[in-house]
Structures are given as C-alpha cells and as structure tokens.
Chains A and B, each alone.
Chain A
Amino acid sequence: MEVKLKGQFHRYLNRIGWAYVTPALVFYGLFMVYPVFYSLVMVTQKWRGFNRQFVGLGNFVRMAQDSIFWKALSHNFIFMAIQIPLMIFLALILATWLNTEIRRFRGVFRTIFFLPCVTSLVAYSVLFRILLQTNGLFNNLLKDLHLISEPIGWLTNGFWAKITIIIALTWRWTGYNMVFFLVGMQNIDSEIYEAAEVDGASRIRQFFSITLPLLTPVILFSAVTSTNGTMQLFDEPNILTWGGGPSNETMTVALYIYNQAFVLNSDLGYAATLSYVMVIIAALLAFVQLRLLGDKER
C-alpha cells in the first residue's frame, strides 16, 4: 500500500517537473529550434522580399565567389587575433596589480574598470564615433600633445578604422575580463605564494609559475566567450565605422549578413546561408579552444 502511494507520489512529482520545464521548452522550440531548422530550408532558396525560388547549393557557390564575404570574414579573424590577446594581456596586468599591489581603493578601481561593459553597445559606439572624428577630441588631444602633426583618419582610413574598432572593443571589455581574472586570482590559496616567497621566487616568477597556470581555465573561458562575441561583431562596425566603412574595410560577417537581408538585396536565403556558415565557424573555433582547455587540464 505504502509502496503504491510512493509510486503515485513519484509520478505526481514527475508531472510537476514537466509542467515547470514545459513553458521554457515550448518557447525554446518555437524561437530557437524551429528557426535553426527552418534556415536549413532557406539555405536552398533565393529570396526576393518574400518570394522565393529553389536554387539548391547555388547560395554556397555564390558565397565561394563573394569577395566581400571573405574580406568580412578575414576582418573578424583580424579583430580576434589582435584584440583578444591584447585585451587579455591588459586585463591580466590590471588584475595582478589590483590583487597584489593595491590594498586601499581596490574596490573603487574594480568598479571603475568594470563600468564600460554595462553601457549599451550603441551608446558607446555613438560616443566613440564623435570622439574619433577627424576634427574630434581625440585628434585634437594628440595634436596638443605633439604626438601627431596631421589628424589621423580614425573613421576614414581603412587601416585606422580597424584600429578604431580594436580600441573601442578593448575599452569596453578589458575591465569585464579583469573582474573574472581578479576573482580567479583571489581563489588561489595564498599559502602557495608564501611558500614561493620563502623559496626566493620573484614576483614576476610567481606570476608565471603560479598565477598563470592556475588561472588558465578562466583565461580560456574568457578567450572562448570573446571569440564568440567577436565572431558576431555587429553594433560597432555598423555605428562606429558607419556600416563597415570606409569601403568595407571594417565589414564583418554579421554586418554583411544583415546588409544582404535588409539593405542590399533583401535576399533572406543568401543571408541564411551565410549565417549557417558563420555558426559552423563559431562552433569549430569553440571546439578547438575547448579541446585546448581539456588538454591543459589533463
């Protein structure tokens, strides 16, 4: 009798469990799973507005020959290769200093460094766009300091526009990553450092032999999330450098997809194809990085 009751109660709890997770699963199915599979259909179609036509693998052939797409992809990789190591390097230095050199005002510095990442991407892109105009504040400051004689085309020169994006991204995300690293550092047992101190290891030696190895999982985590974010880079090139300008020099894959769908051809099929390719690249990058992490852990 009691066993039967228990079984009934178990089934009741199981039903409650399903009731709790069902709304989330339904919404997820509707607005995540279904679109992902529907885009598999779109990949085989050419769209004009909402009229479509079957083209088989035509979109992939078109992509292979689309020089702007490949250029945009190369920009994503350039931003990743330069900005992420730079940002992680800066964040590590700042976190180390805040952790070991500073006692008073540590919290204040942490708060201030963290501030940039709570602003909206659009708001800070707007601000940086105004600050970096050819006759804007940043150039005027550099001129006053006699660092440059001619204003730099932060937004108008292809090379400098890329630097602009890198500066902006670094401004926004360094503090965010620093907070991650700081928490990771504070979780390291201080006895390890004391032992190293006794053995006569210098601060720099301690950083490379203790801090860095123990922090590797956190660093790789932030590398994975940053890579994913840079792969999707959209707001900054759209607003800060004005639609990937000058002449597509800061065009990114996400922005190009948006342009294909809404600005240039309104070809949703081709846009869906490009986003599929982007997903595969993002997944591959995450996989490779996580494999690296797994190997280091072992």
Chain B
Amino acid sequence: MKRTHTISYFIIRLILLIGAFISIFPFIWMIIGTTQNPNDVVRGVLKPGNEFLSNWKKVNASYSVFTFFMNSFVIAFTTVAGGLVINGLAAFGFEKYRSRKREVFFNILLVSMILPQMAIVIPLFRQMAFFNLLNTRIAIILPSLVSVFIIFFLRQNFKMFPTEIMEAARVDGAGELSIFLRIVVPSMKATFASASIYLFLGQWNSYLWPLMTILSDAKKTLPIAMSSMMRAYTIEYGGLMILVCISTLPILVLFLTMQRQFVAGLLGSIK
C-alpha cells in the first residue's frame, strides 16, 4: 500500500515536470534561435550560436523592426487608454446610475458577446474603406475600443464600491465626474490594471483585423510583420526569431510581474 503510494507520487511529479517543460520549451528555444544561423534554427539545434548580432543587422537591413514594435505599442497603448475611459465610464454609469432603460441596453450588449469577430469584419472593412481609413492605425483602434467583456468585468467590480461614499462626497459638494475620477478610480487600481492588461494583450496579439486593413510596410504591427516574413522567398529565420522574441518577451515580463491582475482579468468572467 505504502509502495504504490510512492510510485504514483513520483509518476505524478514526473508528468507535471514533463508538462511544465513542454509549456516552457518554445520560449527557451525562441531565445536560443535568435543566436543561430537559419540552418540551425530549422534543424532545431539546441546549442546557442553566436550570430545574434549578424541576425539583428540582417533583419534590420530588410525590415524596420523598430517601426513594427512602435506600431504595435502605439496601437495597443491607445486602445488601453481609450478603452479604459469609454468602458470605465460606461460600466460606472450602468452600475451606479441605474435605470430601467439603460439596463435594456446593457442586456443587449451582454447578449451580443457571443457574436464572433468574423461576423463583423467583412462589413467593417467596407465601412473603413468608405471612411477612407484603410491602412491607418485609427482603423485598427476604433473597433476595439468598446469591449463588452471589460464593461461587464468593471461593472462587477463597481458593485463592491459602497454607494454611501458617493453620497457622502455629494454632500461635501463633489461633482459627479470628480467622484468617479478622484474617489472611485484611485480605490480600484487593481481592477483597472486587470482591465488594462486584458485590453493591451488583445490588441498587441490581434492578427485578423490588422491583416485585413494594413497594406504598407510602414504600418505593419509585429504579428503582421512576422506573418509576412514567413511568406518571404528566403526566410531570415534568425531575424524571425528576434521578432518572435520582441513580440513575446514584453508580455512575459508583464505577466510575471503582474500575475495576479492577469489572472483576475481572465477569471472575472466566471465570477
């Protein structure tokens, strides 16, 4: 009896370790890949090479890595900033200024959450063409500002904010907007951090919609740049790995430093 227990004890730990290795291996390998020549990357050699600098120079000679990074960053950052304002106000309005009519709108929003992105991108493309916004950052940002999930998530969290505090502030003569900005927002930093991460990640990683709207090299985001590099006649594998790292490592660092907010943002939906 004791013996079988120890066997399963080791087997479980072994399987968990193998699983952890499989989860983490591609990350290690992508970093090794940046230092190798294309042949070694394809063959999957695991020994680090010493070609990082030449890979970096080569990829920068034919692509503008910095531009890709900045495009991704600016678009994601703007989406977070705009999205926090728009969704934050909406969630606060729905929760703390309840009315039957607004509740109807809220329910319509919730139901429409099941609509897949693919349902709207085709007409949206035509709409952006009509507004002459194709191949602009604005075309990527505008449709992703409103997130029903974030409105829902923030509203759930605003429920916990005591309404008495708002009333006390009103008695003290505070305006409605300053109640929101000076009292509510500062006391819910963690919630807003979760929402920011969710919005940032969604935009930083988005592929389908930018692929449809971006046409020129100067406007490409990192995912679009990676996919077009894969389509090149001769693929610069070392440089490609550098791009993969640039698009992945910042998110990893963000995740490891703000893990709790990350998971809260993702789990908000099952509360």
Contact = CB atoms under 8 A, between A and B. Distances in A.
A158 interface: no
Interface string A216-243: 0010010000001001101100110000
B212 A262 contact: yes
B212 A20 contact: no
A258 B33 CA distance: 31
Contacts of A42: 122-123, 126
Contacts of A31: 120, 124, 127, 142-143, 146
Interface residues of A, number: 87
Contacts, number: 243
Interface in B44-72: 44, 46
Contacts of A141: 44
Interface residues of B, number: 85
A128 to B, nearest CB: 8
Nearest to B87: A24
Interface in B85-99: 85-87, 89-90, 92-94, 97-99
Interface in B188-240: 201, 204-205, 207-208, 211-212, 222-223, 226-227, 230, 237, 240
Contacts of A183: 267, 270
Interface of A is mostly: helix
Nearest to B105: A25
Contact of B226 (A113, A126, A128): A126
Given A32-B146, A42-B126, A175-B23, 6 more contacts: A13-B97, A32-B112, A120-B207, A171-B22, A218-B270, A271-B122
Interface of B: 9, 12-13, 15-16, 19-20, 22-24, 26-27, 29-30, 33, 41-44, 46, 85-87, 89-90, 92-94, 97-99, 102, 105, 109, 112, 114-127, 129, 142-143, 145-146, 148, 151, 176, 201, 204-205, 207-208, 211-212, 222-223, 226-227, 230, 237, 240, 244, 247-248, 251-252, 255-256, 259, 262-263, 266-267, 269-270
7 contacts: A13-B176, A21-B89, A115-B255, A122-B247, A136-B44, A137-B46, A275-B121
